[in-house]
Amino acid sequence: MGEENKGSGENESVIELVDLCKSYQVGDMEVPILKSIDLSVKKGEFVAIMGPSGSGKSTLMNMIGCLDRPTCGKVVVMGKDVNQLSEVELARLRGFEIGFVFQTFNLVPRLSAIQNVELPTYANKKEGIDGRKRAQELIELVGLQNRMNYKPTELSGGQQQRVAIARALINDPSLILADEPTGNLDSKTGNEIMNIFTDLHDKGRTIIMITHDPELTGYADRVVHLRDGVIGAT
């Protein structure tokens, strides 16, 4: 399904953040959230970004995922400077090259599991991808072949997260962004979800995971510590 061998192009950067800063205007005040962030993520890496609540993790994820633009500095995704892209180009970059996995699953209640997985291809679909066929393959990959026609309300939290992971993979993205992917799950189910990420990483996927749980960092190649909008030891 387009998986790449781990180690292929290992020196190629998927993400480059250069002197990145992000501030938001609150009334008459400019509130800095991220300050002078420098970070490089290579192809095939599994990087955990860890920090307490309010450290800027979600803002950093938004920058990496092209959901927002920096106030200053550069965000380069797959060799493309985000500041140089139009909104249409940004949407295509997100749709084709980035797969998102959220803590709250974000599944469409009225759609079945397989329809939820296939859904992103309705707006953006890479050339050569058969949406329904690939959705079936991905449902099998995450072990839900017997639940593909179930709606989210008929699935457990862990099963819903498996659907969300399959959906993130539908367009064969270069990068998977996971924001607290086990935050709503019990420890046993959380470990099962992390094993899926480990398998994807072993097949060459680049993964960036936001977490506040130190136990999850053991799955990553590298841990980036974020506090008060500044990166510490990595």
Domain ranges of the chain: 43-69+86-231
Quickly state the pLDDT bin for 233 (edges 50, 70, 90).
low
Which residues partner with 32 through β-bridges?
A: 23
Residue 8 pLDDT greater than 60, yes or no: no
Q: What's the pLDDT score for residue 10?
A: 58
Tokens of 146: 């017997």
Tokens of 176: 């998977």
pTM comes to 0.89
| Per-residue model confidence as pLDDT tens digits over 79-101 | 999 999 999 999 889 988 999 99
| Per-residue model confidence as pLDDT tens digits over 98-120 | 999 988 899 999 999 999 999 98
Domain range 43-69+86-231, CATH class: alpha beta
Please tell me whether residue 114 adopts helix, strand or coil conformation.
Answer: helix
Neighbours of 101 (CB within 10 A): 24
